[in-house]
Chains A and B, each alone.
Chain A
Amino acid sequence: MSEMTEPTTEFEPRITAFVCNWCTYTGADMAGTSRMQMASNVRIIRLPCTGRIDALFIIKAFERGADGVIVSGCHPADCHYTAGNYHARRRFIVFRELLSFMGISNERVIFSWVSAGEGAKWREVVNETVERVRALGPFTAYHELASRQMVGGAYETEVELPDVREAPAEAGGAS
Chain B
Amino acid sequence: MSAYAFITAEKLAELVADLMESGTRVIAPITTAEGRATYSAIEDLSEATFNQGLPMPSLKGHFLPPNEALLSWRQRGGDIELKPASTQFAPQLVLGARPCDVEALQVVDAVMNWDYHDDLWNGRRAASTIFAMTCAGVDDSCFCTAVGSAPDSARGADALLTELPGGYLIEFTSEKGEAFLGEHGRYFDTASDEAVAAADSLRAETRTRIEQNLVVDTARIGRWIDGHFDDDFWPTLGPRCNGCGACASVCPTCHCFDINDEQTGVGTGVRRRNWDSCQAKKFTVHASGHNPRGDQDARYRQRIAHKFYIYPSKFGDVLCTGCGRCVRACPSNQDLVEILQTIDGLAAVEEGGAA
Contact = CB atoms under 8 A, between A and B. Distances in A.
Interface of A: 149-164, 166, 168-170, 173-175
A65 B295 CA distance: 40
A152 B61 contact: yes
B68 A164 contact: no
Nearest to B81: A160
Contacts of B202: none
Range of interface residues on chain B?
Answer: 35 or more
Contact of A156 (B65, B76, B266): B65
B38 interface: yes
A173 B89 contact: no
A161 B85 contact: no
Nearest to A168: B266
A149 B64 CA distance: 13
B264 A159 contact: no
A160 B65 contact: no
Interface in B53-71: 57, 61-71
B281 interface: no
A169 B68 contact: no
B306 interface: no
Given A151-B61, A152-B64, A173-B76, 18 more contacts: A151-B38, A151-B65, A152-B63, A152-B65, A152-B66, A155-B25, A157-B69, A157-B70, A158-B86, A159-B83, A160-B72, A161-B268, A161-B270, A168-B267, A168-B268, A173-B77, A174-B267, A175-B75
B264 A164 contact: yes
A160 B61 contact: no
Contacts of A156: 65, 68-69
Contacts of B27: 154
A150 B66 CA distance: 9
Contacts of B57: 151
Given A155-B89, A175-B75, A149 B267 contact: no
The 5 A-B pairs of least Cβ separation, nearest first, read A152-B65, A174-B267, A151-B61, A157-B85, A159-B69
B124 interface: yes
A159 B264 CA distance: 13
A151 B64 CA distance: 10
B77 A170 contact: yes
Contacts, number: 84
A153 to B, nearest CB: 7
A173 B75 contact: yes
A159 B70 CA distance: 7
A37 to B, nearest CB: 28
Contacts of A152: 61-68
B41 interface: yes
B71 A159 contact: yes
A152 B40 CA distance: 8
Contact of A170 (B76, B83, B265): B76
B15 interface: no
Given A150-B38, A173-B267, A161 B72 contact: yes
B92 interface: yes
A164 B264 CA distance: 6
B120 interface: yes
B74 interface: yes
B41 A154 contact: yes
Interface in B218-268: 264-268
Nearest to B32: A150
B268 A149 contact: no
Contact of B83 (A149, A160, A174, A175): A160
Contact of B265 (A157, A158, A160, A168): A168
9 contacts: A155-B25, A155-B65, A155-B92, A157-B85, A159-B83, A159-B84, A163-B265, A168-B266, A173-B77
